[in-house]
Each structure stands twice: as C-alpha cells, then as structure tokens.
Structure 1
Amino acid sequence: MKIVFMGTPDFAVPCLRTLAESGHEIAAVFTQPDKPKGRGYKLIPTPVKAAAEEYGIPVYQPLSLRKGDDAEEAMKTLRDIAPELIVVTAYGQILPKEVLELPKHGCVNIHASLLPKYRGAAPINWVILNGEKETGVTSMQMSEGLDTGDMLIKKSTEIGENETYEELYARLSDMGGEVLAETIKAIESGDLHPEVQDDSLSCYSPMIRKEMSALDFSKSAADIHNTIRGVTGFAMLEGKRLKVFRSELSDKKYPNAENGAVVDTKSFAVKCGDGGAVIFREVQPEGKKRMNTEDFLRGKKLTEGEILS
C-alpha cells in the first residue's frame, strides 16, 4: 500500500518505524513545524521528522491543514500522492473532512487509551491521575468527531502501582507500533471488524495545565501519589520549590499529624488528608538536579513535623 504518516512527538516514532520497515511505500510524512529551543532558539526538528529523515522519507510541515495557503498546498500534495491509507499518531492537528475521505482505506488513528474511555489530548496522564489499573492502545477509523471513529484493534496493559507517566508513555508508544502492525495486516487481508464506540462509556482527557502539579496535602495519599505519577508534583519546603517525580504510598497512618507534615524524616514521608502518607522517592530541589531521595537527604536534614505547603 501507498501510505502517508502524520505524527509529531517521540510517542509516534515507533509507529513510523513500523511502517518504514513494513515493506509498504511510505510516500510522505506530515509533522508539525520545527520549534525553537534552548538559549539560542535554534530550530529543532520534531522527533518524527528526525526519524523520517533517517529513512529518506519526504517530510511536509504545514502550519495548518484546515485553512490558509499552507492547507491548500498540503491538500494538493496529498492529492498528487494519492495515498491508499493515512496513518495518524499524535499529529497535533485536526484533519478536515477532505483529508479523511481522500484515501481508499481512509485514515487510521493510533490512540493511547482503551476507547471510548479517555478520548482527547492527554489520555496517559489522566488514566494515572484517576487511579486506573488498566489502559492500552486502540486503532480506530477516523471520523470528524474527536476520537469518535469506529474501533479496529485494541491491546491492553496493566498500570503499575508506582508507574509514572514517563514509564507508561514509553510502554504505550511501543505498543502503538504493535497495534498498528496488526491493523495494517488486517486491512490487507480484509479481516477488519470495526466496532462502533458506545458514547455513554466515553470520558474526555483534556490538556494538562501546569497548576495541576501543585500538591494539596488535604487530599488523600492516593490522590497525591497519582498526581506525582501523572503530572509530576511540586510543593514548597522552607520557602523553596521542590519537584517530586516519584513516590510510594506508606502503609502507616498518622491521624494526629497536620496535613503536609513530614512524619518520617528517614524516608521523607508526608502526611495527607486521609491520615495516610506518601513517601517521596525522587525529587528536585529548586536550582538543583533531579535526584533520588537518599541523595537529597544526605544534604538536607528534615525536621519531623515541618510543613510542606
């Protein structure tokens, strides 16, 4: 098949590699424009663009597929290529109806959740924030709605009790490539069995906001733990910002301690609103590097009862 791939972040790279090594003709890659980074604001290619260049695949980076000169030029390019299939993984743009209807086999999206749950932009964060025990990857036939198309192939996985967003992101990224390979094989063999999504079972995963990382110690230990795992937490310790990247739940209860109080100076356990405690395992003090708690405590003496806000 002649295929066009659309994707942008490193999450999408395993899917592109799956296609590039599948024997199919990958006629083009569409990705978001390069963005300036660092002190010199040097333009950095997207991870998908960098991977496409490894394989010598032509890359297009329109600002929009829906309006303006860029959209018209992109549409002309797609018509000239005449792909039989378009594969989309975390592209970052909404495809217009004209693009969705162009390929013979339509447009297939690889989405990092078990649809219809967690439609939207940040499903990996939200399954952790909500304390889900299971998630996965779904391929779907794209429609004009937001992640509402017919489901094609699903693959599920358990979420570890202490697994972080970064760890789950990497696992689901690889799983996306596996689901895509199965989907392509089923398209070729004519063995696809699309399943309509039950909208009554759906939920939405909106974009993550920076303020969501603030740790509110009046909440339960599980909520604090899930915030740290899902978006990276932060609190104020002695007037300075402390980021928390990894944590565990304590098996002890501290009913008489104040919320936010350090209740164990050796493990860095902090009391939460339900009487439980969360143990910080990896932190980054303001102005310093990310480190495990053991290294942090070698240079910082905590006082039992001191409060994190």
Structure 2
Amino acid sequence: MRIVFMGTPDFAVGSLQALCESGKHEIVGVVTQPDRPKGRGNKMLMTPVKEYALEQGLTVYQPQKVKTPEFVQTLRELQPELIVVAAFGQFLSREILELPPHGCINVHASLLPKYRGAAPIQYAIIKGEKESGVTIMQMDIGMDTGAMLEKVVVPIAENTTMGELHDALREQGAALLLKVIDDIAAGTAVAEPQNDAEATYATLLDRSMEHIDWTKSAQEVHNLIRGFNPAPSTFTKLPNGKSLKIWGSRLTEKKSEAAAGTVVEAGKHSFFIACGSGVLEITEVQPESKKRMAAQVFLNGRGVAEGDILG
C-alpha cells in the first residue's frame, strides 16, 4: 500500500520503523514538524522521525502548516492510499482526511475515549491508572474523536514511570498498526464509534504542575513523580531555597503527624517525607546544577536532615 506517514517524536518512530521493516508497504513520504532550536546553544535539531526517515532514505517534508493549499497539492501528487499519523502535532484539514482512498488513521497512546489530547501517557500515570494502551482510530475532524479500529491494553505497575510506559506503548502500537493496515487492505477492518460521554482529555502539561505539592497524598505525589519521569521532571525547594528535582519514589506504610513536606526520616539509602496523607520514600534526586543521583549519595553529602521542611 502507498503510505504517507506523519509523526514527530520518538513515539512515532516505532510505528514508522515497523512500516519500513515489514517490507509490505511503500512509504512515499514522511511528514514531520520543522526543525527547531534546542539547548543552550539554540542548535537546530531534527525531529526523531526525520532523523530515522533520512537514515532509511525516505523523502521528508516539514511544512509549517499541512493545511496550506500548496502542501495539500504536494500530498495529492504523492497519491497515498492511506495516511498514517502518530503524534504528529498538527491538525489535519477535512481536505487531507478525505484525500487517500482509505482515509487517515492515527496511532494514539491511550485507551480511547479516555485521555484524548496531547499528553495521554503522562496523564495515565498522574491519574493513577492501572492500565493504558494504544488505540488506532479512523481520523475525523475532531481531536481524537474518530471511530476506533483496534486497541491493545498495557498494564501499569505501581512504580512504572512515564518513560517505561512510553516505550511499551511505542512497541505495542507499532505491532498493532501493521495488523490494522492488513485489515484495511483486506477490507475486514471494523470501526467502532467512541462514546463521547466517556471522553476525558489530557491537555498540554503546565510548568506549574512540576512543583510538588506535599499537601497531596503520598499516592498522588508518587504518581506525579512517575508521570514526569523522564520529562519534564518534578521538583521541590530545599530549606536553603535551592531546587531539588525528585526522580524516584516509593510508597510506604509509614504514618506521620508531621506537617506536609517534613523530612520525617533520613536513612542511609533514602529519606522519607510526610505528605497530606501518608509518607513517601525518596530514592533518586537531582540537586540544583548537579547530575541525577541516588538518594544515598545526596544524603552522604548532607543533603537533608530529619526535621527539614521541603516545599
């Protein structure tokens, strides 16, 4: 099948790689977001999808907006039978959605209709879900509102991080994509409408969410730390006013009457912080201007002591 692929981050690379390695399909074009400056030197960086596509010798397009008449004409000239979208980052117009004979399908990292939107992987963990998954849907003009073609469920364990879930969904979604395309080609794909009444939205992450609120329950704080690992990360403030990123935590059975944010115990390998309810064990941190380190290393450097209040 002649396919145009649209995607941008590492999550999308999994699907593009599966298409390339299947040997069944002709990737006639790869569309990704424009290169953007990043880091201290504002160096222009390629998107992960562009980097992989160029390694495979694929033709890459980077329109500022895919909806322009000029780029729609480019898509028409490519004559795709199907457009595959995975975390692309731009809305498609109705004209594009109706361009390929088999339409456009999207590889979405949640069990729709739950967590439509931009950050479904983070929200699944932040909200304490026990499972997530990938839904492949037939795209329509709405945001992740199209009819569902297939789903795969991926469990979320107590300490699963966003990065770990991302990688599992990337792999499972890529495998599911190949099956769905086979079904579309065979004419056996069945689309199931979403129940809009059950929809929830994973909106863009806000920087204010990174600051840990210790008045929340230990479970909620633990979920936030996991959901923001490896990006964008969470932080708290030390008594000296410096920031301390929190990368690793564990739930405990401990109880405390201390004020939220109080270090109630500083052991050899980790330290324990009172939350609005419950006590959370901190296992990995990153002091300001330093590298990530085990809590043990931080404590050896007299990072915090019992009675310190973080916030």
Relative to the length of structure 2, the TM-score reads: 0.95
Q: Deviations over 1:152-183 (max 9, x none)?
A: 01000110101111111111111121111111
Using the alignment, how far apart are the partners of 1:270 and 1:208 within structure 2? 25
Measured after TM superposition, the shift of residue 123 of structure 1 is 0.5
Per the alignment, residue 286 of structure 2 pairs with 284
Among 143, 158, 162, the alignment partner of 1:161 is 158
Per the alignment, residue 11 of structure 1 pairs with 11
Where does 1:49-64 land on structure 2 (aligned, <5 Å)?
49-64=50-65
Using the alignment, how far apart are the partners of 1:138 and 1:117 within structure 2? 10
Using the alignment, how far apart are the partners of 2:253 and 2:88 within structure 1? 42
Per the alignment, residue 44 of structure 1 pairs with 45
Using the alignment, how far apart are the partners of 2:244 and 2:40 within structure 1? 24
Does 2:86 align with 1:89? yes
Per the alignment, residue 276 of structure 2 pairs with 273
Per the alignment, residue 66 of structure 2 pairs with 65
Using the alignment, how far apart are the partners of 2:273 and 2:200 within structure 1? 32
Measured after TM superposition, the shift of residue 39 of structure 1 is 3.5
Runs of 4+ in structure 1 displaced over 4 angstroms? none
Per the alignment, residue 209 of structure 1 pairs with 206
Using the alignment, how far apart are the partners of 1:269 and 1:46 within structure 2? 39
Where does 1:215-294 land on structure 2 (aligned, <5 Å)?
215-231=212-228, 232-238=233-239, 239-254=241-256, 256-266=257-267, 267-274=270-277, 276-294=278-296
Where does 1:190-209 land on structure 2 (aligned, <5 Å)?
190-209=187-206
Where does 1:70-81 land on structure 2 (aligned, <5 Å)?
71-81=68-78
Kindly provide the amino acid, as one letter, of the partner of residue 32 in structure 1. Answer: Q
Measured after TM superposition, the shift of residue 25 of structure 1 is 0.5
Where does 1:94-243 land on structure 2 (aligned, <5 Å)?
94-231=91-228, 232-238=233-239, 239-243=241-245
Contact 2:11/2:87 (<8 A) preserved: yes
Q: Secondary structure at the match of 2:22?
A: coil
Kindly provide the amino acid, as one letter, of the partner of residue 263 in structure 1. Answer: V
Q: Deviations over 1:47-84 (max 9, x none)?
A: 00011011111000000022xxxx22211111111100
Using the alignment, how far apart are the partners of 1:262 and 1:224 within structure 2? 15
Measured after TM superposition, the shift of residue 22 of structure 1 is 2.1
Using the alignment, how far apart are the partners of 1:58 and 1:11 within structure 2? 20
Using the alignment, how far apart are the partners of 2:292 and 2:57 within structure 1? 37
Query: How many pairs does the alignment contain?
Result: 303
- Which runs of 5 or more residues in structure 2 are unaligned? none
Relative to the length of structure 1, the TM-score reads: 0.96
Q: Secondary structure at the match of 1:21?
A: helix
Kindly provide the amino acid, as one letter, of the partner of residue 80 in structure 1. Answer: E
Contact 2:27/2:58 (<8 A) preserved: yes
Sequence identity percentage: 52
Using the alignment, how far apart are the partners of 2:44 and 2:242 within structure 1? 33
RMSD after superposition: 1.0
Measured after TM superposition, the shift of residue 42 of structure 1 is 2.2
Q: Deviations over 1:253-296 (max 9, x none)?
A: 11x2111110110121100011x111111110011001111221
Kindly provide the amino acid, as one letter, of the partner of residue 264 in structure 1. Answer: E
Per the alignment, residue 297 of structure 2 pairs with 295
Q: Deviations over 1:232-254 (max 9, x none)?
A: 32110121100011211111111
